[in-house]
Amino acid sequence: MSEEKEKKIEIGYRELKGKSLKERIQMEPVKQWVKFILVFLIIVAFFIWSGAWWLWLLVPIAFDIYITKYVHWSGWKESKNPKLRTLAEWVDAIVFALIAVYIINCYLFQNYKIPSPSLEKTLLVGDFLFVSKVSYGPREPMTPLSFPLVQHTLPILECKSYIEKPHWEYKRLKGLGDVQRNDIVVFNFPAGDTVASKFQQSDYYTLSYIYGRDVVNSRKSAFGEIITRPVDRRENYVKRCVGIPGDTLQIIDGIVYIDGEASESFEGLQYNYYVETTSMLEDRVAEKLHIRKADIRILNNDKYYGMDFLKYAGYVDSTGNANYVYLLPLTKENHEKMSKMSSVVSIKRSFPDGKTFPLYRQDGWTRYDYGPIWIPKAGATVALNMDNILLYEQIIRNYELNKLEIKDSVIYINDQPADSYTFKMNYYWMMGDNRDNSADSRFWGYVPEDHIVGKPIFIWMSLDEDKSFPSNIRWSRLFTKVHPD
């Protein structure tokens, strides 16, 4: 700030000293009143939208800043010490920026980077998304005391980036619409309520299923501390919503059916295939088909597959030799292109693997053939029995916070025998377009409405991890819409 402007501010406060409220109001120029009125209208509009009563506390503060000036809010700017004044200016700018970012991040939009290939080719690893909070209505913070732009862990310090108390109940402000079938949605990972600090790539429930709950809880050297996280501090995921509340969903041979009808097919939809070739795939072939290097897996020497698998799958001939066999994600278009290559011998769908939701249900469901399963809707009531309780216990206990017990084949909710349950929230079924490389609702179940974060609108930056700067910038993807008309 210039010395001349500083002097004007100092003189202004000196002139107001000893003046009555009426005199202070009369002395302020029109432009100060215009500034105050604009701020007042913003506060009123936000109050109408959010219903937050505490916003009215900002009105007298704004009135004093612009009109009455009883408090010398910028008194630090008059310091004769230039170093102190510079430090104060930096602190003022940083605090303002943090508050602005916090408000924008909570109520308007946030940035999100695609970390995994679950939505390839619709969204690519390295895409940076502009995520609108207004599309579905911003969710008010549940853990309001948190560091801006950090989800749950402060870098370097490796500690929580939030304070769990106070904790506010779930409330969503009015938005432009609701989550629709086939929308791409950013949401908090539902199974991320509990994590093992040294094994955060897998959720606690899957780890407990594989290794046993007692092992995971006791072996801190291997799994670390068991951490719980509030809803809005769980990892952000992005998937396509393929099922909305009230839908009956079933997957048959990889195709999603909603209420008995096949769902819409997308241009970027792809599945895993075993591709048998007489020679190794060249890099230019993979680049032409837009297949990431990380997604090219040759099975001949693979520690998980190897020759034993190739024998089982029929790729080894009578002499004990086999062609090259790759595991590749292919769209319908890429499948057709590869089928025409002279070096390609065969292309077959990969075998499904991995336990599906719910983990302890023995029904033979796979990621290719799954369900039917009904997606819960707020206010709807479902009959409960020992055959279906595993489908809903996660909702009843973890998401809607009831006490759930089963004794002698009798279901107890909040210590009362129960043969039905009425849902408090809407739930959604999320899946990746890269169907066989996506950890989604088939593995960890429903996404509650209070976990919905927002809707990706456009890609503002896209970086190819297989290339170096500046050729790694995917210029054709910059500022392209995520949801084309």
| pLDDT tens, residue by residue, 164-184 | 889 999 999 999 999 999 999
Give the residues across from 410 on adjacent strands: 407
Q: Region 4-18: what's the mean pLDDT?
A: 57
Contact between 482 and 456 under an 8 Å Cβ cutoff? The reply is yes
pTM: 0.87
Contact between 426 and 136 under an 8 Å Cβ cutoff? The reply is no
| pLDDT tens, residue by residue, 205-215 | 989 988 999 99
The two tokens of residue 269 are 């939809």
When pLDDT is cut at 50, 70 and 90, the band that residue 474 belongs to is very high
How many CA atoms are closer than 13 Å to the CA of 348, on its beta-carbon side?
A: 13
Residue environment code for 132-149, b if the CB has 16+ CB neighbours within 10 A, otherwise e: bbbbbbbbbbbbeebebe
Neighbours of 394 (CB within 10 A): 22
When pLDDT is cut at 50, 70 and 90, the band that residue 3 belongs to is low
| pLDDT tens, residue by residue, 254-308 | 999 999 999 878 888 999 999 999 998 887 888 888 888 889 999 998 888 888 9
At residue 8, does pLDDT exceed 90? no
Q: What pLDDT does residue 21 have?
A: 65
At residue 451, does pLDDT exceed 80? yes
Q: What pLDDT does residue 407 have?
A: 94
Q: What pLDDT does residue 159 have?
A: 85
Cis peptide before 329 (omega within 30 of 0): no
